Amino acid sequence: MEFMITRRAFAGGLALLSTLSPALAEDKLSLDALSAYLNTIQTAQSEFTQFNEDGSKSTGMLYIKRPGRMRFEYAPPNSGVVIAGSGAVILHDKKSNQPPETYPLKRTPLNLILARKVDLGQAKMVMSHSFDGTFTVVRAQDPKDPEIGFIDLMFSANPIALKQWVITNEQGTRTAVVLNGLTPGVTLPDSMFQTTVSGRSSNR
């Protein structure tokens, strides 16, 4: 099963990032504007597609409740659940007899966008900031723990919206997630983000 963050890389991620055209300063969204946008997101949900290094893909639903909470529900045949909450991330494979894997949320670059206050202008957080002709692309790391990897966030403009990301973990592998329209302001119960898996199925 290909879980995001710690399992599998996006085969096209390297190609995608290597084809960025020269930035046009007037088209590039500012870090202040992107930070302000991310800080407006309290709750949100979206269908997503995850691309894996073997050329396969997974789909599902993503739920965000800031600060510090995120839930990925993978559609069949994977039917897995990844939950971030209470400072931890739990990976649960419903088809496995093994207990869920758990590790600290601060050990994943997703912690940057789940922070109580996002500040992309923080010293040594942003590694690069460019425009690829379609998206403003921000490569960010945790300045306190740069060894855990980094995240490439891709934003559209008019209105500003987070469209996709590519995570490079501490082993150098990549995972890409493309969002199918992030809908903010949805009602999400806290029980969805308990780090004991609830077994809740997708609402699609």
**Residue-level pLDDT at 34:** 97
Give residue 169's domain range: 13-186
Task: Identify the pLDDT of residue 169.
Answer: 87
Write phi, then psi, for 132 (nearest 5 degrees).
Answer: -100, 15
State the total domains in the chain. 1
Separation between Cα atoms, residue 132 and residue 27, nearest integer Å: 9
> For residue 196, what pLDDT is reported?
64
Q: Can you give the pLDDT of all 204 residues of the chain as single tens digits?
A: 444 443 433 434 444 444 444 444 458 999 999 999 999 999 999 999 999 776 779 999 999 999 999 999 999 888 799 999 999 999 988 777 778 889 899 889 999 999 999 999 999 999 999 999 999 999 999 999 999 999 999 999 999 999 999 999 888 888 899 999 999 999 999 999 998 644 443 333
CB 157 within 8 A of CB 29: yes
Residue 82 lies in a domain: yes
Establish if 202 belongs to a structural domain. no
For residue 191, being part of any structural domain is answered with no
Evaluate whether residue 90 is within a structural domain.
Answer: yes
Closest CA to 195 of 86, 65, 45: 86
Closest CA to 155 of 22, 12, 36: 36
- Short-list 1, 20, 59, 4, CA closest to 173: 4
150 in a structural domain: yes
- The closest alpha carbon to 50, from 70, 78, 69, belongs to 78
pTM metric for this prediction: 0.82
Question: Is position 96 within any domain?
Answer: yes
CATH code for position 61: 2.50.20.10
pLDDT the model gives residue 99:
82
pLDDT at 90: 94
